[in-house]
Amino acid sequence: MTPLNIPEWQSLVRHYSDLKFVSMREQFALDSNRFERFSIKSGDLLLDYSKNRITQETVDKLIQLAEAVEIQDWIERMFKGEAINHTEGRAVLHTALRNRSNTPVMVDGKDVMPMVNAVLDKMRNFCEQVHSGTWLGFSGKKITDIVNIGIGGSDLGPAMICDALEPYGIDGMGVHFVSNVDGTDLSTTLEKLNPETTLFVVASKTFTTQETITNAHSARNWFLKQGKQEDVAKHFVAVSTNADEVAKFGIDTANMFEIWDWVGGRYSLWSAIGLPIALYTGMDNFERLLDGGHQMDNHFRQQPLKENIPVIMGMLGIWYVNFFNSHTQAIVPYDHSLARFPSHMQQLDMESNGKFINRSGARINYKTGPVIWGTPGTNGQHAYFQLIHQGTQLIPVDFVLPVNSHYPECDHQSILLANGLAQAEALMKGKTAEEVRAELVKEGYEGKELEALLPHKVFPGNRPSNVLLFPKLTPEMLGQLVALYEHKVFVQGVVWNINSFDQWGVELGKQLAKAIVPELKDDAEISAHDSSTTHLIKLIRELRQ
């Protein structure tokens, strides 16, 4: 099935031709209710999507397309534990991890909720022991630092959440994330730490990931310079599906927190992969995060499509990627503590929807997932916003705006918020040649000088953005936000008819790296590579000290 043949898609193609030159500025002037018409609230979270290249007809047609691809059916199939990740034969149940209503969720005839709850209890118990000092390091000292060793989904999500929830951090507890196999990452982290008071969480769904296992071995060697072999159990715990590999590494499986194959790596922060979050901020805050995720799940499952935030955001993304031919999507949080939010979203979106094969295995002849990127505002404004305002590409932007800061004592928040709002306004409105001319005349320009400068100061405007506004970045709100983007990505995957839950595209590089590692040693035989790779291997051998 290609979506291009769906009548609702074709109707959007025609609608796009009618609409592509319509200006948002005019639309705002014509319709004083545009904000009310194109905004949705879910609890404390507001999506303002009025600054998009849409009319009511566009939204109606996008929703008709969502209906035509049976989005509501797909939503139910996911929540009910059907094996919709068909290339791996797995259910997709990150929603069960935050199913705070505790209703049964069946996988292969078995309710997974008792397992989910048992691991949550184990996490709570462990956190309480660490926080109260019942769990001590080998020399009898309290644990002061958690080092999470993991990569991809076993790193980005928990690292982003710990940064974002820094105001909720428990006094005297530090958290660190080591992901890169570049020894710099581990070494620069460990040089600040004391093995007597450091607890390592080795987080790997498969427990076979080269980078994580390499870092975990080196961390253990570092630990054993002071601790003894029998002390390892007090300083290393694991999060994994793979008890055999955990035991092989030397971690007592009693200190393993289980996850399951129906939790995708990039969707796993809600599982025991979130253990560093719970250790850093306390289990109550971790559960508040789950509550927020669950609220968004209920919204996604229950709200009509037109009032459904993930559906609307997902369909707007389709509108820009497939009709306006935009290649990227910026996510710009106006909250410094969300600095890693775009990176997590990058993995979530690009690993999910970066696919060129549809669910039936056929090659796709339309565009799928865009490049996701961004950094916190206001920094981005002084770097790449030039291109968003005046470049030749259409780049939709999501502005993520918490109204109140956790650091109100420094009165910066009004400036921060004003900048976020101003960027969205400027992108929408632009500045016409007439407006620029009037400004230049006022500034005393005239004649040739004025004419030469004028075109450079024009802003075309009509550039789309969403605003996500909420009172404060609490654990619940963060849970809502992350779940919102997860569901947005899912909606788009359904429309594109792809499996958003596998990631075969990461395998080839891993395979080839395994072959190259031994070849970097002097005198080792170099297998058949292309001449570029062979020469680079030889050169590395020569240059290596």
| Positions in the binding site for ligand G6P (CB under 6 A) | 151-154, 204-206, 209, 212, 265-266, 351, 503, 506
In eight-state DSSP terms, residue 326 is -
Query: Could you tell me which of 352, 390, 348 has the C-alpha nearest to residue 373?
Result: 348
| Residues forming the active site | 351, 382, 510
Which residues have CB under 8 Å from 35's CB, separation 6+? 48, 50
Q: How open is the CA angle 463-323-35, to the nearest 5 degrees? A: 45
Least separation in angstroms between residue 505's CB and ligand G6P is: 8
Query: Could you tell me which of 359, 181, 205 has the C-alpha nearest to residue 267?
Result: 205
d(CA 375, CA 384): 10
Q: How open is the CA angle 145-273-79, to the nearest 5 degrees? A: 155
Phi first, then psi: give them for residue 257, nearest 5 degrees.
Answer: -105, 125
Residue 158 or 265: the one with the smaller Cβ distance to ligand G6P is 265
Residue 71 or 372: the one with the smaller Cβ distance to ligand G6P is 372
Residue 414 or 511: the one with the smaller Cβ distance to ligand G6P is 511
Q: How open is the CA angle 276-105-360, to the nearest 5 degrees? A: 95
d(CA 65, CA 419): 35
Residue 153 or 376: the one with the smaller Cβ distance to ligand G6P is 153
Least separation in angstroms between residue 105's CB and ligand G6P is: 22
Least separation in angstroms between residue 30's CB and ligand G6P is: 46
Cα 26 to chain centroid, rounded: 34
Least separation in angstroms between residue 204's CB and ligand G6P is: 3
Least separation in angstroms between residue 408's CB and ligand G6P is: 36
Which residues have CB under 8 Å from 428's CB, separation 6+? 24, 25, 28, 51, 461, 462, 463, 464, 465
Residue 206 or 218: the one with the smaller Cβ distance to ligand G6P is 206
Amino acid occupying residue 426: A
Residue 406's alpha-carbon distances to 164, 398, 410, 411, in angstroms, are 10, 22, 10, 11
Least separation in angstroms between residue 503's CB and ligand G6P is: 5
3-state secondary structure 128-163: HHHHHCCCECCCCCECCEEEEECCHHHCHHHHHHHH
Least separation in angstroms between residue 112's CB and ligand G6P is: 19
Are the C-beta atoms of residues 136 and 445 closer than 8 Å to each other?
no
Residue 101 or 511: the one with the smaller Cβ distance to ligand G6P is 511
Instruction: Work out the number of other CB atoms within 10 angstroms of the CB of residue 6.
Output: 17
Residue whose CB is nearest to ligand G6P in the complex, by number: 265
E-assigned strands of 334-454? 371-373, 397-404
Residue 71 or 239: the one with the smaller Cβ distance to ligand G6P is 239
